[in-house]
Amino acid sequence: MARTYGEIIQTSFEEVFAQTADRSAAVFVDIGSGKGLIAAAAVGQGGYARAVGVEKYRDKYEDSIKLHSSLPEDVQSKLEYILSDVADLDLRQLMQQWAQAEVMLFCNNLAFGQGMNARLGRSIREAMDSIPDVRTAVVASTPLEALNDRLKCLISLNMSWGTSHESSVYLWHGDHKE
């Protein structure tokens, strides 16, 4: 994968967070968390109960660890970064471990590549099906084909590489708690 780097812009964080019905009972998971900004903001500004970032590359992960240590203790205690390729994680097992009443899975996956996105979509689907009582939203900057039948809407997000980037919102078990 090319080591070019991009991020969601802070002005669009709230648009993502708004896809969760009750943040105080939700975990925010950032797949490909980069420098860790949106995961930190999910707890610090967004009011999520917990946030987890998963990042493949050590240099970005170390940036997120530096950010973590600069945050107030109450935010630190709810925030965790993991150095891993998401393909090497058992998302199903982790979701069962992380899940609160709600899950928000954010994937800024534009540069993940077709094969990786196909695999990611399948493993998210499997993970979500294993937590049937948990309302789950997935926001992806590139469509995840395996989730197509759960597409709720499209939203425009501002990214460091351009404004109004069309992103997909998928929803699981939404009817249970709405």
Ligand X SMILES: C[S@@+](CC[C@H](N)C(=O)[O-])C[C@H]1O[C@@H](n2cnc3c(N)ncnc32)[C@H](O)[C@@H]1O
Give the interface with ligand X as residue ranges (CB under 6 A).
1, 5-8, 30, 32-34, 37-38, 54-57, 60, 85-87, 108, 111-112, 116
Between 119 and 152, whose beta carbon lies closer to ligand X?
119
What is the smallest separation between the CB atom of 160 and ligand X, expressed in angstroms?
Answer: 8
Reduced to 3 states (helix: H, G, I; strand: E, B; else coil), residue 154 is: strand
Question: Do 41 and 14 form a contact (C-beta atoms < 8 A)?
Answer: no
If the CB atoms of residues 146 and 173 are measured against ligand X, the closer one turns out to be 146
Which residue, judged by CB position, is nearest to ligand X in the bound state? 32
Would you say 51 or 173 has its CB closer to ligand X?
51
Shortest approach of ligand X to residue 69 CB, angstroms?
19
Spell out the residues 6+ positions from residue 94 whose beta carbon is closer than 8 angstroms to its own: 127
CB atoms within 10 A of CB 38: 25
Phi/psi of residue 157, nearest 5 degrees = -120, 145
148: tokens are 């197509």
